Amino acid sequence: MRTLAIGDIHGCLVPLKKLWETIDPQPEDCIIFMGDYVDRGPECKAVIDFLIRLQMQDLNIIFLSGNHEEKFALARINYIELEQWRAAWGGTETLESYGSGDMKDVLDSHWEFIRTCRPHYETDTHIFVHANLEADVPLYEQLPFTVIHKKFGKPKPHMSGKIMVCGHTAQESHVPLNLGHAVCIDTDVGRGGWLTCLHVETGSYWQTNFDGDLREGLI
């Protein structure tokens, strides 16, 4: 069994498909997607379509929610949020991927997918969140802002003693940042970087980009 964590996708279907083929998930694996499926990239709708199809397979997949999913949902019900999302979050690219650039074109199945994404996931050794944890707060008492919005910075070890794996804070180096007790795997594919999948047990990782390149490393 492998535990595989996949970083922020941001509407980048080509790197996602290449990465998925490379890791070749098996039914005994656990795959955790770290959130931020939409915005910035050109194929946001197609990314969610792809992820929904994965749900139908005989695989153990966890989908976490990111701040971009939250903003997408808020933009659906609030005009000010909509304008902010389109202007500064990459929301224009998301809507254009649905066709006419209108929120009414977003499929009900996509809203349901976003609604059912989880705030966190925990194993015996690791905690997976989109953004961050407060070190002295139990997992189930963490504020929503912390787990989907708080930047990585220099987090202290969590009180549980478990290693935190997160995305959200784009690494300009385009490689994962490993502090030992915390690992950030957002390697900025939505702005020309790479999409990362971390093999949690071994620390090895695979990365793909829009050029179809594949590279590997060790945190």
Task: Say which CATH number the domain at 167 has.
Answer: 3.60.21.10
Q: Provide the pLDDT for residue 100.
A: 82
77-120 per-position pLDDT tens digit: 999 999 999 999 999 999 999 998 889 999 999 999 999 999 99
Count Cβ atoms within 10 A of the Cβ of residue 17 and give its class: 0-12 exposed, 13-18 middle, 19 or more buried. middle
Taking 70 as the pLDDT cut, the residues of the chain under it are: none
Reduced 3-state DSSP string for the chain = CCEEEECCCCCCHHHHHHHHHHHCCCCCCEEEECCCCCCCCCCHHHHHHHHHHHHCCCCEEEEECCHHHHHHHHHHHCHHHHHHHHHHCCHHHHHHHCCCCCHHHCCHHHHHHHHHCECEEECCCEEEECCCCCCCCCHHHCCHHHHHHCCCCCCCCCCCCCEEEECCCCCCCCCCEECCCEEECCCEHHHCCEEEEEECCCCEEEEECCCCCEEEEEC
Q: Is the pTM of this model over 0.95?
A: yes
The whole domain housing 131 covers 3-218
Alpha-carbon separation of residue 210 from 40, 66, 135, 190 (angstroms): 13, 22, 36, 10
Total number of domains in the chain? 1
To 5 degrees, how large is the angle CA 185–CA 186–CA 189?
130
What is residue 167's predicted lDDT score, i.e. its pLDDT?
Answer: 98
pLDDT of residue 52: 98
Can you tell me the distance from the alpha carbon of 47 to that of 29, in angstroms, rounded to the nearest whole number?
21
Which pLDDT score, from 0 to 100, does residue 201 have? 98
pLDDT at 101: 85
Nearest 10 degrees: CA dihedral of 117, 121, 52, 201? 160
pLDDT of 35 reads 98
For residue 42, the model assigns a pLDDT of 95
The proportion of the chain whose per-residue pLDDT surpasses 70, expressed as a percent, equals: 100
pLDDT at position 135, please? 98
Four-residue CA torsion sign, 156, 160, 166, 168: negative
- Residue-level length of the chain: 219
Nearest to 44 by CA among 121, 105, 128, 119: 105
